[in-house]
Structure 1
Amino acid sequence: MFTLNSQSSVGHNRARTMPTSSAPRLLFLCFTLLSHFHSSVATPRHLRLSVQDIATVEAAQPARHRAKAKTTFFEVDRPLHPPRGSSGPCSTLLLSHSFALTLTKPPVTTAYSPPSCLRGAGDVSLAVLEWRADCHGVQYDRIFGVWLGGAELLRGSTAEPRPGGVTWSVHKDVTKYTSLLATGNSTLAVYLGNLIDDTYNGIYYANLTLHLYFHRKAQSAPTPAASAPADLIVPVSRSQPLDDGLWFVVQNGTDVESTRVTVPANAYRAVLEVYVSSHYSDEFWYMNTPDQNGPFREVTVQLDGDVVGAVWPFPVIYTGGINPLIWRPITSIGSFNLPTYDIELTPFLGKLLDNKEHEVGFAVTNAQNSWYVNANLHLWLDPKASTTAGGLISHDAPKLAGGINSHSLDGIDGEYRATASRNISATGWVSSSRGNITTTFAQRLNFANTNVVSKNGSEQTINQTIDAHTEVGGGGAYAHQLHHSFPLYIFLGGNGSGTSSQRLMRKVQIGFVESRSGAVAGTSTLRNEQVAEAVVVLRDDQVAGASWRMHQVYNYGASNGACYVRNVTSVGYDVLFDHDEASCGGTARR
């Protein structure tokens, strides 16, 4: 019988029983909800196909797709190239490990020392962290994280294997972590919470490699301070030993997870880089109904109890989410390499430059169990002075605004609309050998979500948009503007209900749109958009077949002449069309 399964997966990655969320309903609700609204709709945590259903679909594939050869899954991203004149790569295998029954066990650790070719952080023109893995057998997608000295370098989800096996790789630019990479006597930690039992026997075999490229001495020029990597990175994460990753686990809307940090006395800039991912009841938070605290989520960053910034996360869909067939072989945006979010803390340095510990905390508005959050505090230090000074001029973080309007005539079909908005700003000055510089950090965030249930609860349509504008202004050369837009459309439905033959449909349209501008970095734009759908055919409650397709366009351009365009289409496991243009001067066909 066809089932929608809720077994352990990347969204249910911890085996031990977690406390039931005691979070209040949506904190800013302003509506009266009919108690039976959505009573016939499958809840988001059930949006996964069972192992038996996937096996039936695989058996129905053409003979060429039932071969024993491994299938390569891939996330579309632009390739990483070192600046002209760079030497390298100098490649070092950091870790090779097989992740079998690793759930509720400590991360795998190994001692880290800088590669012999790495003489100093300033010599590096590009650093690339490569995660390459494969898996055979039966397994769900799992979340994994990589930390160096307690600072997270990479977070992603695994691919779900096929009978012949699956392989995939991630190449992440980690140049901004060069001060960490150049530090000796550190610990590398990798967590991948995998489950092995009578049904799930897939073991993930992973290699982690660091590739370094270097400036050529004769051609190198000093890197502008505004674009140079931080001199020091302070981890804002949990400490070992653990039975999970180094991330904090936020379990409900009142939970605040925090740690204490100390900032060196000669810091002149501070940026908090936040990693976040959603799991369990909130894996599909954007589809949550009002009785599940609604569809709005934000991660608030707190400094000594005050909200100093907010992250409205991109809705990453893991490789097993909605319908895992959709993400084969082209995976969802951000699934293998989750995005991070920067909060400028420079205006608050006047508070932090007192040689005392300060509490950095994280909360998730309206959260259900659970969210994994941690961060890295990037600090730039004055090489010509042992101390700097600063002061906070203004800080404004009004309460979140928004609400939900709900309407249903029969207690089953109906719709609700959720909106939210927030503005946060702070201005402060820092005096160093670079002069007395005033920095302003401002965020303008808007959210809209419409959830429509129709056909007696058999169809559900989600339309959601997140717009986030961040501006760092003032006299500093690191002033910049960043705008994100995350459109999302999901349709769940079908036809033939109550008959011996049925078609279950899933449609997803999702986009990651970004524009950046800065005095030193120049301008860049990215439009990364996917349109996908899957149909599962049932006869007498048995899976009789399935079809799926994906179309993705990735378009990046920058004022320095860099660009990358890729247009790719797949039907089933076949990639039918794949064009890319890496130099904007010619096109390569795959």
Structure 2
Amino acid sequence: MRSRIIMSMLTGATLAVSVLLGAGPAPAAASSAVTASFATSSAGAASPAASFPARSAAAADTPPAVFGTDWHDPLTAAPPVTRPDTRSCQVTLAEAQFRDFTPYRGMYTPPRGCGDHWSKVVLRLDGKVKGRQFDRLGYLHVGGVEIFRTSTPEPSPDGIEWSVEKDVTRYSDTFRQSRDVEMLIGNVVDDTYTGVIDVKVTLTFYTGTPARTPDRVLTLRDGTLTVPRNSERIVAEVYATGSGGGCEEYWYLTVPDSAPYSCKAADGPYREVQITVDGQLAGIAAPFPTVWTGGWSNPFLWYVIPGPRAFDIKPIEYDLTPFAGILDDGRPHRVEVSVVGVPAGQTGWSTPVNVLVRQDTKSARVTGKLTAPQVGELANSTVFTPGSENRLDTRGGHRLTVAGYVDTSHGRVRTTVVRTLANTSVHRWTDGENMDGLDATWTDDESVTVEGRGAARTTRTQRTYTMDGTTTLGTDDRLRTVLTLGDRAAVVEIHDGRRAAWSRRDDAYTGDATYSANVPRDQRHAVGTTSERYRMYGSDGCYDRRLTTVQGVLTEDRADC
């Protein structure tokens, strides 16, 4: 039974020769969480807005006894992107059908009639696919800047449609002049996998009071970064995804070489995404354990509701401002991203980097110094206990403090970044892997303090990711997966010792699906119940939406608050 389970577990996103192919949940007409603005980019979660549209309860048809040949279009409970009530202009970025690994290439031209400084810029992807197809992973670049990374739903034979929206205002600098566009959703179409992925991507620009955005959006050149000499704040973002159609897609399930399991990694499942400047550790982060729409051996979990972030893959953000005194010398500096725990020589991670810069417009040159790099010891231990039910206990963690200052036209500004990571997991499986389960938690706590320009300001962010699931294959070849996923963040902004703003986000997914394995598609007799509740509340308001599906039919769409 082992080969059959593993082939199913590894059906998903594929990364080959820097070309993305793979997995991904599908968004809906209302989808995609808002990315934090550059002014609070280290927070990792935007504050909820009181103006989020409410959604009324949806009456649904009676679910069939088993999954049919069609189901509800994919959707998520995440809040839609809020839009200002101002004049807007729309530009089509890409319109393409993806059948293979040939990228779409085009040209972006700035909108006419809406100026060049906007109150908001919203990206929207509309997609459709029908037939049979795996989930696929994709990216969108404008002028070499990665503005969007996504994945796709698996279609019904009759066809599905979905959409994703994302606030991309932070990339306004990129949008102010004509740029090359490149988009790819790597795909395979043949006699078996018939689904052609048809997408259209637009940008809508809104007039009004211009948003505060980075002055420059940069990319690396041959692994090096050159920033303007008057750079005052520097933030790197990394769209890190574990994929490759192999074990790094399920990195959280890997075990040491000594344990009898199909996915090996010498150091076990602990992963950490690190960024260095000239070889010096500058930032650490816990990767998000994304589950694509072919994940956990069971596509019936994801046909309507994807796992958190699967359609709108959020970048990891690193505040590199403490290194501004080094980077502002006008010379190129090597910036590298690596993933701790990946076996030597093994591919499977994609880590494109953007760098967002705010400049001191009243100074031609900003100088400064890195003052306090403190690198804690990286902890990573695994304990394997063999038995009729094998068990691997993992504990890992790391702590990094970096501090520095810049001398600007408005005085000396000190920035201190403290980041602490922790991971615990219990992996259980039987010989042959007919039972395979994981209970894991990742925490990523960050504090960014800025002193010297008015009152001291601190942004504290506590991120928590959870995964608790089990897949079993019975003697009757009925495969069942029960899984819960959690994506939570709490953000507090403190000004001069007082709380100025706060927000909490809790995106929770639950699924339970069963089908007959190793039979033709029309004989699977699949059943499944899935649900998602997305809550966001804080000093700016609240949002609360719950979705439930049964056998692919939407039975609940309820909004509270």
TM-score (norm 2): 0.83
Q: What is the aligned residue count?
A: 495
Structure 1 counterpart SS, 2:418: strand
Report deviation, 1:9: 5.7
Letter in 2 for 1:284: Y
- Residues 63 and 320 (structure 1), Cα distance of their counterparts in 2 relative to 1, 3 Å cut: closer
Among 533, 537, 540, the alignment partner of 1:560 is: 540
CA offsets, 1:560-588, max 9 Å, x none?
23x2110111111111111024xx4xxxx
In structure 2, what is the Cα distance between the partners aligned to 1:494 and 1:144?
31
Q: Within 5 A, what are the aligned runs for 1:183-582?
A: 184-215=177-208, 220=209, 228-236=212-220, 259-279=223-243, 280-291=246-257, 292-293=264-265, 294-322=268-296, 323-367=298-342, 368-409=346-387, 413-454=389-430, 457-475=433-451, 479-495=458-474, 497=475, 501-519=476-494, 522-537=501-516, 543-561=523-541, 563-581=542-560
In structure 1, what is the Cα distance between the partners aligned to 2:193 and 2:477?
29
Which gives a bigger RCO, structure 1 or 2 (Cα 8 Å, sep 6+)?
A: 2
Structure 2 gap segments, 5+ residues each? 21-62, 258-263
- Residues 460 and 126 (structure 1), Cα distance of their counterparts in 2 relative to 1, 3 Å cut: same
- Residues 434 and 16 (structure 1), Cα distance of their counterparts in 2 relative to 1, 3 Å cut: closer
Letter in 1 for 2:82: H
- 1:251 maps to what in 2? none
CA offsets, 1:460-505, max 9 Å, x none?
220100011011113157641111000110101143x2xxx34321
- Residues 433 and 9 (structure 1), Cα distance of their counterparts in 2 relative to 1, 3 Å cut: farther
Q: Which moved more, 1:6-15 or 1:476-485?
A: 6-15
Structure 1 gap segments, 5+ residues each? 19-59, 238-257, 585-590
Does structure 1 conserve the Cα–Cα contact (< 8 Å) formed by 2:492 and 2:501?
yes
- Residues 437 and 193 (structure 1), Cα distance of their counterparts in 2 relative to 1, 3 Å cut: same
Does structure 2 conserve the Cα–Cα contact (< 8 Å) formed by 1:413 and 1:456?
no
Q: Which moved more, 1:361-370 or 1:480-489?
A: 361-370
CA offsets, 1:260-318, max 9 Å, x none?
11010111000111111111221011111223112111111111111111121111101
- 1:114 maps to what in 2? 110
Does structure 2 conserve the Cα–Cα contact (< 8 Å) formed by 1:13 and 1:142?
no
In structure 2, what is the Cα distance between the partners aligned to 1:540 and 1:352?
58
Letter in 1 for 2:75: F
In structure 2, what is the Cα distance between the partners aligned to 1:347 and 1:112?
34
Structure 1 counterpart SS, 2:448: strand
- Residues 163 and 17 (structure 1), Cα distance of their counterparts in 2 relative to 1, 3 Å cut: closer
In structure 2, what is the Cα distance between the partners aligned to 1:14 and 1:90?
37
Structure 2 counterpart SS, 1:314: coil
Letter in 2 for 1:559: S
In structure 1, what is the Cα distance between the partners aligned to 2:247 and 2:477?
28
Structure 1 counterpart SS, 2:526: strand
Letter in 2 for 1:135: V
- Residues 167 and 544 (structure 1), Cα distance of their counterparts in 2 relative to 1, 3 Å cut: closer
Structure 1 counterpart SS, 2:401: strand
- 1:159 maps to what in 2? 153
Report deviation, 1:91: 1.9
CA offsets, 1:436-463, max 9 Å, x none?
1111011011011111224885322201
- 2:59 maps to what in 1? none
Q: Which moved more, 1:127-136 or 1:196-205?
A: 196-205
In structure 1, what is the Cα distance between the partners aligned to 2:518 and 2:90?
53
- Residues 262 and 456 (structure 1), Cα distance of their counterparts in 2 relative to 1, 3 Å cut: closer
In structure 2, what is the Cα distance between the partners aligned to 1:539 and 1:430?
62
Q: Which moved more, 1:168-177 or 1:363-372?
A: 363-372
Letter in 2 for 1:96: E
In structure 2, what is the Cα distance between the partners aligned to 1:207 and 1:297?
34
Letter in 1 for 2:409: S
In structure 2, what is the Cα distance between the partners aligned to 1:64 and 1:421?
42
Report deviation, 1:176: 1.1
Say if 2:133 is the partner of 1:139.
Answer: yes
Structure 1 counterpart SS, 2:347: coil
Does structure 1 conserve the Cα–Cα contact (< 8 Å) formed by 2:123 and 2:202?
yes
Does structure 1 conserve the Cα–Cα contact (< 8 Å) formed by 2:89 and 2:112?
no
Q: Which moved more, 1:355-364 or 1:71-80?
A: 71-80
In structure 2, what is the Cα distance between the partners aligned to 1:444 and 1:459?
33
CA offsets, 1:359-392, max 9 Å, x none?
1101111214310111110000111121111111
Does structure 1 conserve the Cα–Cα contact (< 8 Å) formed by 2:88 and 2:114?
no
- Residues 357 and 201 (structure 1), Cα distance of their counterparts in 2 relative to 1, 3 Å cut: same
- Residues 179 and 440 (structure 1), Cα distance of their counterparts in 2 relative to 1, 3 Å cut: same
In structure 1, what is the Cα distance between the partners aligned to 2:433 and 2:312?
35
In structure 1, what is the Cα distance between the partners aligned to 2:484 and 2:107?
43
Q: Within 5 A, what are the aligned runs for 1:14-25?
A: 14=16
Does structure 2 conserve the Cα–Cα contact (< 8 Å) formed by 1:14 and 1:193?
no
- 1:99 maps to what in 2? 98
Letter in 1 for 2:142: L
Letter in 2 for 1:560: D
In structure 2, what is the Cα distance between the partners aligned to 1:157 and 1:540?
27
Letter in 2 for 1:285: W
